[in-house]
Structure 1
Amino acid sequence: MPRPAVAWYGVTVLFVVQIFSFVDRQALSLLIAPIKADLGMSDTEVSLVIGLGFALAYAVAGLPIGRLVDRVSRPALLAAGLTLWCGCTFMCGFVRSFPQLALARSGVGIGEATGTPVVVSLLGDWFPPHRRGLAFAVFAVSAYVGTGLALVAGSAIVHAFDGISAVEAPLVGAVRTWQVVFLLIGPPGLLVIPFVLSLFEPRRSARARGRTAPASEAPGLSQVVAHYRRHWFAFTTQHAASTLLAMLFYGTGAWVPEFLRRTYGLPIAQGGLWFGLVTVVAGTVGVLAGGVISDRLIKAGRTDARLRVTGFAALGALPFAAAFPHAATPGLALVLAGGMIVFTAAISTTGSTGVQELAPARMRGTASAVYLFVFNGLGLSLGPTVFALLTDRAFGDEALLWRALAVGAPALAILAAMASFAGLRAYRTCVAANAAEAPPSLAHDAGPEAALATRA
């Protein structure tokens, strides 16, 4: 492992990359009304662009990218993905139809699919098990900072162009004001690429010492499949719990600015600004708490700590998820939504670190890709769509978005809690099996259980 200073420098760079990722991903939620008006889209079609169009590309691309993570230079792979998603975000500023917007968002999804597999794999190599929770928590704060910045910055841009339908952009010509948002937020992420390429790559260091090449370190696909078959219930429940909480977070996050506008008449710029600030504060508290608490439980011998914290987080989110759509004022709704985010944010730490504990060290890239295929393919894509379908199909009135949130949000929290607690025993069994199979040279990487298994 690298020196702590090198590892934390890496976390800082990845933190900044993730901020740009979420800024590019979340800004669309502020632009629902003008996009619907200009492109003639329904709530369901908008949700498909926010969710499915992005997440399906993200999830499908993540599988081969996960295999690449186990074989190639991870900083170089992340730099390529960063270039792609920044470019496609910029191209969203030129679209003129629903298919064009969906295609550009898919490109953003493919580029961002490099992010989490690379991060999960690198942080696993940079930090010992009892420190990973904190490292992941610090990194994961960037998702909420990025989401908040997207809402705050987007709100400022929307406010600046309030009442103006189109503007003349240099070298571009006439564009709609909502397209200006994408033209402004896309390019800045490219400035981070040199720092990404400077990240410590343990495999590069190993090759310099004449050690094993990365291609031979990665397990065969048959080995990965065999491991999943042996521990299918542990993976299924862990992935399900994480995905259901992701549906709750991404689904409500996509629609809260519109909910504030439709229910309370709050201008979208003002609602986005306040919700962005709430997301930054609540998300930061929740993700750090999830990492610190699960780390302490791990040190105390609770090998199922990551999944156990996920379950209690789902239970904690439940009353807030049920209450915020019924709030009498927009201020109270924001406070209650913030309480929900504090608990749902824990999944940003416990989800990815949980996958690391369920998969042997050499499978981390592939395992994280499978996890993200499920997490994003269902959580990110279906989350916004669940509430849109309830609004369009079940209630048939966009003004009843609050009712869709009141039905869907608590249901997702309950299902996430059920999946978490159902899988605790299988989770412990899988972690113990990985520890017993770890060679002595990797005992430090598998935690206390590996050391006991090695001595036995």
Structure 2
Amino acid sequence: MVAKTSVNKDRYSHGVAIVLVCLGANILSHADRNMLVVMIDVVQSDLGLSDTQIGLLHGLAFSLSFSVFTIVFASLADRMARGNLIAIAICLWSIATGLFGFATGFLSMFLARMGVGLGQAMLSPTVYSLLASNFPRSRLARASSWYVSGSFLGVALVLSVGGYLAEMSGQNMSVSIPYIASFPAWRAGFIGAGIIGLIFAISVPFVIKDQRRVYVQPSPSFGKVLQFVMEHRNAIARHFVGFSFCALAMFTLIAWGPSYFMRVQGVGAATAGVTLALGFLISNISGVLISGVMTDYLERSGIPGGPFIVGSCAAFLTAISMVFFVLGGDGSGSAIAFFLGLHFSCYVIAPSATAIQVLSPERMRARMYALFLCLNNLIGMSIGALVVGLFNDYVFRSPSAVGISMAITVSVA
């Protein structure tokens, strides 16, 4: 009995350690991924980029490589030591983030953003496979929601720090990175973030004790995965397409939110960064944690389709929030509706991850989630960010129309 209790404590401690390390990796992932959003105006001013080009950098450049390589790397997560894979992923995207700081034009920035997408393609399929192997079904949504909350901590971190760097860049100030050189503030932010990521990556394999798994039977081929998808195509199609369009709302609000507050509300970059950081911490993290608890409750209660119930509520409430966002004009009512929209849009994250892990056989989990991420990012990240830029440049022909452009994009999705 004592031995069994000791084993359970060890498993619990290791499970907590896994969640904390994965949480840290996700913080870095989304900080690096979203650093551009608070620096849009200074990057545009420095390099002469349009809103459409910014939309391509934030959306297509990242999601194109992310979508392609997430399927390639997911097969490794079903076979290899996942702690090592997470460390490699962090190294890859950290190097690309640093290179973004050295970019001199649209093409070099596009290639660096593709590098960030390539590295981050390895993270979530590996993490969700790892969590599903270390947590029972009744606790999986909460473990997933803690991991997901790292995305918003990362966004909040980069908004608060990046806002100050953007304001410093607007004043032509530089930042010195020890032992390297002095750079314009916005460039120093990307280079410094890359260095921090490389340092963090070193610790990952020492904390996550996930040995390479040896199976008697060979791993199912990708053809078998596609066969599984076709056999369950109705449920999987509803999951993939529905949750991807829900994610479009969240990605759009995150990508263009800082620009809205700076261009329409007239808020300075530093103030906008801190305000949005606090908003993300409150609205987004509460949204993802509440949705995790709701999904687990529906699962324990035996109510079928729990993740889809939560996702449907999220879509409806997000659309309603966008109506009030438009009606609020440029006042505080609009800002409140914006953060409510962010809150409800986050309800889809934990249920979508949980549903795909429960639906998939163990040795297909990473690749199934990779297929979902592929569509999720192609629809959610590429379309949302780009459409807002196109509306600004070619329909309304005004950067200050970013608010109505966001509202139309999110509501239609």
Is TM > 0.5 for Structure 1 vs Structure 2?
Answer: yes
1:11 aligns with 2:19: yes
Alpha-carbon distance change, 229 to 100 in structure 1, aligned in 2, over 3 angstroms: same
Distance 1:88 1:256 in 2: 24
Other-structure match for 2:153: 145
Q: CA RMSD in A?
A: 1.9
Other-structure match for 1:393: 394
- Name the SS for the 1:291 alignment partner: helix
Please show how residues 414-425 of structure 1 align to structure 2 within 5 Å: none
Other-structure match for 2:219: 218
Distance 1:226 1:161 in 2: 52
Q: CA deviation at 1:173?
A: 5.0
Distance 2:302 2:49 in 1: 52
Distance 2:188 2:210 in 1: 41
Contact 1:310/1:346, CA 8 A, preserved across alignment: yes
Distance 1:217 1:375 in 2: 29
Contact 1:88/1:107, CA 8 A, preserved across alignment: yes
- Name the SS for the 1:58 alignment partner: helix
Deviations 1:242-301 (A, max 9, x none): 111211111121111111122122112211221121011111110011111110101111
Distance 1:159 1:397 in 2: 22
Contact 1:286/1:345, CA 8 A, preserved across alignment: yes
Contact 2:138/2:296, CA 8 A, preserved across alignment: yes
Distance 2:108 2:169 in 1: 24
Identify the match of residue 45 of structure 1 among 53, 75, 79. 53
Q: In structure 1, what residue type is equivalent to 2:241?
A: A
Please show how residues 353-392 of structure 1 align to structure 2 within 5 Å: 353-392=354-393
Other-structure match for 2:347: 346
Alpha-carbon distance change, 391 to 329 in structure 1, aligned in 2, over 3 angstroms: closer
Other-structure match for 1:196: 204
Identify the match of residue 144 of structure 2 among 133, 136, 161. 136
Q: CA deviation at 1:358?
A: 2.2
Distance 2:178 2:210 in 1: 44
Distance 1:7 1:165 in 2: 44
Q: CA deviation at 1:159?
A: 3.3
Alpha-carbon distance change, 326 to 182 in structure 1, aligned in 2, over 3 angstroms: farther
Alpha-carbon distance change, 390 to 4 in structure 1, aligned in 2, over 3 angstroms: same
1:333 aligns with 2:334: yes
Alpha-carbon distance change, 284 to 170 in structure 1, aligned in 2, over 3 angstroms: closer
Moved more, 91-100 or 218-227: 218-227
Other-structure match for 2:131: 123
Distance 1:167 1:282 in 2: 32
Distance 2:207 2:245 in 1: 33
Aligned length: 405
Q: Which runs of 5 or more residues in structure 2 are unaligned?
A: 1-7
Other-structure match for 1:247: 248
TM-score (structure 2 length as normaliser): 0.93
Please show how residues 15-414 of structure 1 align to structure 2 within 5 Å: 15-164=23-172, 173=181, 175-201=183-209, 203-204=211-212, 212=215, 216=217, 218-412=219-413
Aligned-residue sequence identity (percent) comes to: 26
Contact 1:88/1:108, CA 8 A, preserved across alignment: yes
Q: In structure 2, what residue type is equivalent to 1:54?
A: F
Distance 1:183 1:223 in 2: 42
Alpha-carbon distance change, 120 to 145 in structure 1, aligned in 2, over 3 angstroms: same
Q: Which runs of 5 or more residues in structure 1 are unaligned?
A: 413-456
Deviations 1:83-117 (A, max 9, x none): 01111111111111110011111111111111100
Distance 1:16 1:165 in 2: 30
TM-score (structure 1 length as normaliser): 0.84
Other-structure match for 2:5: none
Distance 1:330 1:272 in 2: 18
Alpha-carbon distance change, 164 to 95 in structure 1, aligned in 2, over 3 angstroms: same
Q: CA deviation at 1:167?
A: 5.9
Deviations 1:406-442 (A, max 9, x none): 3222122xxxxxxxxxxxxxxxxxxxxxxxxxxxxxx
Contact 1:165/1:177, CA 8 A, preserved across alignment: yes
